[in-house]
Amino acid sequence: MSHTKHIFVTGGVVSSLGKGLTSAAIGLLLERRGLRVRMQKLDPYINVDPGTMSPYQHGEVYVLDDGAETDLDLGHYERFTNSPLSRDSNTTTGRIYRSVIEKERRGEYLGNTVQVVPHITNEIKAQVRKLASPDVDVVITELGGTVGDIEGLPFLEAIRQIPLDIGRQNCLFIHLTLIPYLKAAAEAKTKPTQHSVGQLRQIGIQPDVLIVRTERELGRDAREKIALFCNVEKNAVIEEPDKEFSIYEVPLGLMEYGLDQLIVDKLHLRAGPIDMSEWAEHLHKVRNPQHDVSIAVVGKYMQHKDAYKSIYEALDHAGIAHQTRVQVKRIEAEELERQDPEVLLAGIDGILVPGGFGMRGIEGKIDAIRMARENDIPFFGICLGMQCAVIEFARNVLGLTDANSTEFSGEVPYPVICLLNDQRKVVDKGATMRLGSQECRLEPGSKAEQCYGKPSIWERHRHRYEFNPEYRKQFVEGGMNTSGLSPDHQLVEIVELENHPWFVAVQYHPEFKTKPGNAHPLFAGFIEAALVRQQQRVQLTL
Ligand code: GLN
């Protein structure tokens, strides 16, 4: 039996407390103490995966190397830790039930009535334990939702049982709650946290550590009161105040409250001293930028702060690489259809058009890309953004009037983006796109190759439509290079413009492979070009 220890992170009082971020920060702290960590999220909704959910419902869908479409919290895990993630790192009620029902049909429970307890709970426990192995010290399992949700109950019951199987001393329950500050009473209120812990205890889980999110620092007295009422040790109430600058401050804040040592002690882990110097260095750059650039992100779900989470993070990382504050102007693509792009995009140093689905806002994105192309504004297109760049070039440079993607219209005179054979016969919508890590070969001397500094790369995909290979020659002759191709030369993965300071568009999602101290090469290249543009702009106005 492996000696892997388990940490369970639950949330109470309200949703959106940043459980994913806190879990990732805990993972980072433990890794910096030399421990080998695995991260996992359990989502109680019934969808088999979040791949078919609208970004309005659940924010971005985060894609892993193996093509798993997962919850955006896994993005935090990858950006903060080195825990390898796979399909097994994100499980939902839908997946659990599917697996149990498949077993039932195969006759694996012959003779039994199949029930939530023990069959569903056993399946959940097996998913959690799957990540334990002799080369893993700690598995951190985050439970989605809020304590009290009906659909979360089987998961809580399952994690309640795990200490009975592997020993209480090998498990740690961390509960994250909110301590609201009531202005009228000039007081921080601990009652919702007490209720939330009470609910957990009714289920049979006594949290070992409470992490409380606060708007204002609580102070020792309030923490001691919470400890007493919630039945946890005084030093196990950790504050996580709102951060002013950056989410990358969270781990350092938790460390200051001694969270890493608390976990090491409670789980009897053999860990080294902590080294957060590199992390503190990134943070220093975030706090002390030397430059400012202004980047327009022209997309579709701009009011939802999580719809393009990884894009914003990737821009921040590129900013860290150049000690630059990246000011993002979120522009709803449809606005560009109503208002003059020159006005909406005034004072912008770079334009990024991210991925998306469906035709709303497409013409606005195309207008933004045209402006970038004609005015030498650095442009970065991602997935749908690349497809729009191809459509724009076809229409306005190659003269292919009404060129389009067959995603947006059945009758397209010039289908420059279309479905290729593999996708034509697909009927199911779930997990049937071109998904996951694929190799791409770069053209020597291209901007892409200069940024990456190597001839071959692996990047993650999530799309159905592709550049139509029938038009490739025409594009290249017209000045749009196909600078990244699949190894068999059939699929166009990158296009770029020859006579433009920086116009690169990619069919894949580079935003899923970036870290604060290791910015993605294309994002770094884009911000570098935007900095040049910004300096030119300053000189012109002087
Ligand atoms: N809708 C496009 C496709 O399916 C682009 C997808 C995306 O941007 N992720 O090909």
pLDDT digits (tens, 9 = 90+) for 325-378: 999 999 999 998 888 888 888 899 999 999 999 999 999 999 999 999 999 999
Looking from the CA of residue 356, the nearest atom of ligand 1 is: 8
Confidence of residue 78 (pLDDT cuts 50, 70, 90): very high
Confidence of residue 185 (pLDDT cuts 50, 70, 90): confident
Average pLDDT over residues 203-217: 94
Q: Which residue owns the Cα nearest ligand 1 atom 6?
A: 463
Q: Please report, rounded to a whole number, the percentage of residues in the chain having pLDDT higher than 70.
A: 99
Closest CA to 35 of 242, 273, 241: 273
Q: Is the CB of 462 under 6 A from ligand 1?
A: yes
What is the rounded distance in angstroms from the CA atom of residue 59 to the CA atom of residue 74? 12
The answer to whether residue 424 scores a pLDDT higher than 80 is no
Q: Is the CB of 460 under 6 A from ligand 1?
A: no
Catalytic residue, from 383, 388, 418, 451: name it: 383
Confidence of residue 542 (pLDDT cuts 50, 70, 90): low
pLDDT at 316: 95
Q: Is the CB of 384 under 6 A from ligand 1?
A: yes
Q: How many CA atoms lie within 13 A of 178 on its CB side?
A: 15
For this structure, is 281 an active site residue?
A: no
Looking from the CA of residue 382, the nearest atom of ligand 1 is: 8
The answer to whether residue 50 scores a pLDDT higher than 70 is yes
Confidence of residue 305 (pLDDT cuts 50, 70, 90): confident
Average pLDDT over residues 77-101: 96
Amino acid at 322: H
**Ligand 1 centroid to residue 30 C-alpha, Å:** 37
pTM: 0.94
| Residues 102 and 231: beta-carbon distance below 8 Å | no
**Ligand 1 centroid to residue 55 C-alpha, Å:** 13
For this structure, is 418 an active site residue?
A: no
**Ligand 1 centroid to residue 507 C-alpha, Å:** 8
Q: Is the CB of 345 under 6 A from ligand 1?
A: no
For this structure, is 463 an active site residue?
A: no
Q: Is the CB of 357 under 6 A from ligand 1?
A: yes
Q: Which residue owns the Cα nearest ligand 1 atom 7?
A: 355
SS3 195: helix
**Ligand 1 centroid to residue 237 C-alpha, Å:** 45
Q: Please report, rounded to a whole number, the percentage of residues in the chain having pLDDT higher than 90.
A: 81
Residue 535: how many other CB atoms lie within 10 Å: 13
